[in-house]
Structure 1
Amino acid sequence: MDDNTADIQSIESAIIDEFLGDPLTAKVEAAIFISQGRYFYKRLVETNPPTYRYKCLSPHSLRVAFNNTAIDSSWIAPGVVRCGCSSGGNWAVMFVPPARHCIDLSAIGKLTVPLPGLVLIGLEKDYWLCAVAVEAFAPDAVCFHPPLPNIYADLKICWGENTPPSASGQTIPAVWELFISSQFSGELVKGKSKQKAYQDDIRQQLVELHCTSSRRYAQPERFLLPIGRAMTLDKLVQEYLFDEID
């Protein structure tokens, strides 16, 4: 017995029999059933005696069938490393390489500071931001708390009065620009660094970085606070985009 057959048989036959035996659905020749996140197609192929054929279906094939249109990602902006659609909605992931950025800190002013590599994760209108200690994107990179205000402990971005667009491979670069160009308040400034001098207010480090000429955030693993026990980017994306909606 193959896996598909076992999965099909895992559907409670009583439910199928009840559906097919209902007078209101007596003329239904086919139906799609869902079991444990899997889709199964049951079709009547013979009437005397009643004989049925089963087939496992992928979410992709169902989407094409019901939309009756081709699926095209359209042009994906530079930096977008992954995007898609799940039961939770549209999502996208973007990598921002290490570089100097202009940021606006309320009560302090505008600063130009080197920041480590950053990864923006979006699901519909929810967005998370983490830091990585690598120059180029790598799914197995260890994740850190970004050294910036306005980000919760679970990495979710606090937008204040701003409203980001829904996530997609085309819109997420604009989401990043909206975030980095917004004014950062004095909220959510604690717990963003390993270094004791910056643990109570990450803005102190940002002010010091502004005074340097370096284009790179030096020794990121020395300063950045890791997420959990060496949580990798791949695991983080799985947790935020898929595990919560299963």
Structure 2
Amino acid sequence: MDDNTADIQSIESAIIDEFLGDPLTAKVEAAIFISQGRYFYKRLVETNPPTYRYKCLSPHSLRVAFNNTAIDSSWIAPGVVRCGCSSGGNWAVMFVPPARHCIDLSAIGKLTVPLPGLVLIGLEKDYWLCAVAVEAFAPDAVCFHPPLPNIYADLKICWGENTPPAASGQTIPAAWELFISSQFSGELVKGKSKQKAYQDDIRQQLVELHRTSSRRYAQPERSLLPIGRAMTLDKLVQEYLFDEID
């Protein structure tokens, strides 16, 4: 008995029979099952008694088959640099260039401050935000912790009572607007800067940037705290969107 046959027989027939015989799926005469990274096609060829035919499928054959169906991303919003769908759901990546932003800090008030380039990564309703020290988007840019509150050490955004939209190439700008326009609390303010004066509370840097009417977030490499050992954006996206899923 070869490995493929053993894998096929390892699929519980009772589960498959229940699926094919369910009233809700009564018209389903065949199904594709996944076992240990392999694809198996099972088709009902006789009903009395139930007789099935099996076939091993390669990822290439599946890709060719499904390519006969048109796939359209629809219009992708400005700033979106990448989007797609994986086993974890829909995802998207958006670049926000360096710019001045109006932010609302609880217990402090509204400030207008320059921020470095930011990259928002969304997978369904989970979002991560990192900073980059470049003017234009580059996949090999080194990632830093963003100089903002309400972001965990793993870069995941704490939304509080807000509910962001599920990530896609069309909706991720709305998630960004919801984040940057929401009131920032005094939570998760430590460990956001290399500068000693701001290590315990990144809000102090934001207040200083507002007070001095700074136009740019100058020399971000000297202030921003890097993620790991020069983690690049490409590696970060791979880790958050694909490695954890696999």
Is this a same-fold pair by TM over 0.5? yes
TM-score range, shorter chain: 0.7 to 0.9
- State the Cα distance separating 1:107 from its structure 2 match: 0.7
2:181 corresponds to: 181
The 1:20–1:88 alpha-carbon spacing in structure 2 relative to 1, beyond 3 Å, is closer
- State the Cα distance separating 1:187 from its structure 2 match: 0.5
Aligned-residue sequence identity (percent) comes to: 98
The 1:27–1:179 alpha-carbon spacing in structure 2 relative to 1, beyond 3 Å, is closer
Q: Give, in whole Å, the separation in 2 of the partners of 1:102 and 1:27.
A: 56
The 1:2–1:221 alpha-carbon spacing in structure 2 relative to 1, beyond 3 Å, is farther
Q: Is the 8 A contact 2:130 2:143 kept in 1?
A: yes
Name the SS of the counterpart of 1:44 in structure 2. strand
The 1:182–1:69 alpha-carbon spacing in structure 2 relative to 1, beyond 3 Å, is same
Q: Is the 8 A contact 1:64 1:70 kept in 2?
A: no
Q: Give, in whole Å, the separation in 1 of the partners of 2:139 and 2:209.
A: 28
The 1:89–1:15 alpha-carbon spacing in structure 2 relative to 1, beyond 3 Å, is closer
The 1:15–1:137 alpha-carbon spacing in structure 2 relative to 1, beyond 3 Å, is same
The 1:13–1:230 alpha-carbon spacing in structure 2 relative to 1, beyond 3 Å, is farther
CA deviation profile, 1:43-83 (whole Å, cap 9, x unmatched): 99999999999988677975896898521100000100011
- The answer to whether the aligner puts 1:72 opposite 2:59 as a matched pair is no
CA deviation profile, 1:106-138 (whole Å, cap 9, x unmatched): 011100000000000000000000000011111
Q: TM-score, normalised by structure 2?
A: 0.79
- State the Cα distance separating 1:146 from its structure 2 match: 0.2
Q: Give, in whole Å, the separation in 1 of the partners of 2:173 and 2:26.
A: 52
The 1:54–1:128 alpha-carbon spacing in structure 2 relative to 1, beyond 3 Å, is same
Q: Give, in whole Å, the separation in 2 of the partners of 1:3 and 1:17.
A: 22
- State the Cα distance separating 1:176 from its structure 2 match: 0.2
CA deviation profile, 1:186-235 (whole Å, cap 9, x unmatched): 01000000011000000000001112344321000000000111111111
Q: How many positions carry a matched residue from both structures?
A: 246
Instruction: Provide the alpha-carbon RMSD of the alignment.
Output: 4.9
1:116 corresponds to: 116
The 1:47–1:170 alpha-carbon spacing in structure 2 relative to 1, beyond 3 Å, is closer
The 1:15–1:134 alpha-carbon spacing in structure 2 relative to 1, beyond 3 Å, is same
- State the Cα distance separating 1:5 from its structure 2 match: 14
The 1:232–1:47 alpha-carbon spacing in structure 2 relative to 1, beyond 3 Å, is same
The 1:90–1:49 alpha-carbon spacing in structure 2 relative to 1, beyond 3 Å, is closer
Q: Is the 8 A contact 1:81 1:93 kept in 2?
A: yes
1:92 corresponds to: 92
Q: Give, in whole Å, the separation in 2 of the partners of 1:151 and 1:201.
A: 13
Q: Give, in whole Å, the separation in 2 of the partners of 1:22 and 1:183.
A: 49
Q: TM-score, normalised by structure 1?
A: 0.79
The 1:203–1:13 alpha-carbon spacing in structure 2 relative to 1, beyond 3 Å, is same
5+ residue gaps, structure 2: none
Q: Give, in whole Å, the separation in 2 of the partners of 1:178 and 1:159.
A: 9
The 1:54–1:232 alpha-carbon spacing in structure 2 relative to 1, beyond 3 Å, is farther
The 1:72–1:60 alpha-carbon spacing in structure 2 relative to 1, beyond 3 Å, is farther
Name the SS of the counterpart of 1:245 in structure 2. coil
Q: Give, in whole Å, the separation in 2 of the partners of 1:28 and 1:182.
A: 47
- The answer to whether the aligner puts 1:155 opposite 2:147 as a matched pair is no
- State the Cα distance separating 1:7 from its structure 2 match: 12
Q: Is the 8 A contact 1:45 1:52 kept in 2?
A: yes
Q: Is the 8 A contact 1:96 1:117 kept in 2?
A: yes
Name the SS of the counterpart of 2:157 in structure 1. coil
Q: Is the 8 A contact 1:64 1:71 kept in 2?
A: no
